[in-house]
Structure 1
């Protein structure tokens, strides 16, 4: 697997990943994951909840974070990556999300990164830490 050449120094930025959430992407994720909760898949149901409409699965957002980490670290991420995150806000159809990260520590065979996923308004939806064991 080809990986992007990410400079493994503290402060290095990871390649960003931008994706726009659509109801079609949410529905496809629901089908693939087996999570058909109507909060995600039924606009009429979701309109009557505290969210006022459908929201994306949190794990869909983490998929975009993982895509960023794969671009930066390739197979090392796929075989030795870990995430520790907090979900801070919801993503809705029409939101454009940006996953970004920064290397915070490089010791031995381990790289630690601060990561986040924001919407187009700059609101942090997911934040936390990614750790990669490098071969």
Structure 2
């Protein structure tokens, strides 16, 4: 049976988590890690790596479908930055041909949006 929604997963970002993710991703861009540098950018402060939002969404897909999610078509866009310190939640809602997927902040701002099609849903 195909679920009506993805199981939602949340993540609270903070400087320590962002630094740990930078180590895993080998991405030490000062935009993510250096308050002084990032405060001089249009973002006004550090932002988390965009791929952290994507990984959270992939985890929500895996939690929802398990091994059945191996054949999927995921089409996403990053729509807004996530500031270090913001909490994000990944989820998705069933559509006629798959799922409308998203990652959003607690205030409802979408930071990632897209579509998901599973070849053989659970």
* Common topology (TM > 0.5): yes
User: Are 1:71 and 2:63 counterparts?
Assistant: yes
Q: Which runs of 5+ in 2 are unaligned?
A: none
Tell me the TM-score normalized by structure 1: 0.82
Tell me the TM-score normalized by structure 2: 0.90
State the distance in 2 between where 1:46 and 1:71 align: 34
What SS class does the counterpart of residue 74 from structure 1 fall into?
A: helix
Who is 1:52 aligned against?
A: 44
Who is 2:103 aligned against?
A: 117
Q: CA deviation at 1:16?
A: 0.8
Who is 2:2 aligned against?
A: 8
CA deviations 1:106-133 (Å, max 9, x no partner) are 6xxxxx2110011011111110012222
Q: CA deviation at 1:63?
A: 0.7
What SS class does the counterpart of residue 53 from structure 1 fall into?
A: coil
CA deviations 1:46-91 (Å, max 9, x no partner) are 11111111101111001110111001111122x3233211111111
Who is 2:93 aligned against?
A: 102
RMSD: 1.6
Who is 1:109 aligned against?
A: none
Q: How many residues align?
A: 121
Alignment of 1:124-135 (within 5 A): 124-134=110-120
State the distance in 1 between where 2:32 and 2:45 align: 8
